[in-house]
Amino acid sequence: MKENKKKTFNLKNFLKQYLFFIITLVLLGILFIFKFDEGLKATDVIVYSFKEMLFVLPPIFILIGLLDVWVEKETMIKLMGEGSGFKGILLAFLFGTVAAGPLYAAFPVAIIFMKKQVKFFNIIIFLGAWSTTKIPMLLYEMSALGFKFALLRLAINIPVIVITAYIMGALIKKDDVIAIYGKTEDF
């Protein structure tokens, strides 16, 4: 009886988790019905993106696991937490810059940072750096759009990321920050 109850609960949970995925699958099906060629094209992109995702994500999640298990909260606080000052900002930039992968891959890393009490300001810096100041991407950008364009964009974005962190800090109140940090225990 108890077993049964657990199973139905899981199914419901499963459906809830996969609802978004199921909806997108239905949309893909609709595209195939009305525009078969576009459907094929979409499938090509999906396979490509999925492969990219499977290529990029595993080491990131391994590093997240390693950080969670091995690195003490106190160490992270000292490096990037309250009172870490300029060193913390620099590290946040560094971690974001050397990383590879799309921005959404940075979210779970940010979560583990928050779990280790990295300062909110540095979390925003990290996300900003991950999204725009990536070294591998810079090389692509230089070859595609020119040296000047890429370098200029990088130079402008560094202060813009810091400004973003200040604005976010001002707009998101202490209570919200605490709530977001509290959530990290669930992940």
Partner 1 sequence: MGNYIFNGAIYLIAIVFLIISFVKSRQKTKKVLIKAWNSFKNILPMLLGIVIVIGLMLAILNTDIIKKVIGEKSGAFGVLLASVVGSVTLLPGVVAFSTAALLLNSGAGYIQIAVFVQTLMMVGIVTLPLEIKYFNKKFAIIRNAISYILSIGVAYLIGFILGIWK
Window 7-66: residues binding partner 1 (CB under 8 A):
17-18, 20-21, 23-25, 27-28, 31, 38-39, 41-46, 48-50, 52-53, 55-66
How many residues interact with partner 1 (rule CB under 8 A)? 82
Cβ proximity to partner 1: between 50 and 85 the closer is 50
Q: Secondary structure of the chain in the HEC alphabet?
A: CHHHHHHHHHHHHHHHHHHHHHHHHHHHHHHHHHCHHHHHHHHHHHHHHHHHHHHHHHHHHHHHHHHHHHCCHHHHHHHHCCCCHHHHHHHHHHHHHHCCCCHHHHHHHHHHHHHCCCCHHHHHHHHHHHHHCCHHHHHHHHHHHCHHHHHHHHHHHHHHHHHHHHHHHHHCCHHHHHHHHHHHHHC
One of 12, 82, 135, 147 touching partner 1 (CB under 8 A):
135
Shortest Å, Cβ 65 to partner 1: 4
The answer to whether residue 100 forms part of the interface with partner 1 (CB under 8 A) is: yes
Cβ proximity to partner 1: between 90 and 157 the closer is 157
Which 76-95 residues touch partner 1, going by CB under 8 A? none
One of 12, 74, 87, 136 touching partner 1 (CB under 8 A):
136
Shortest Å, Cβ 60 to partner 1: 7
Shortest Å, Cβ 175 to partner 1: 10
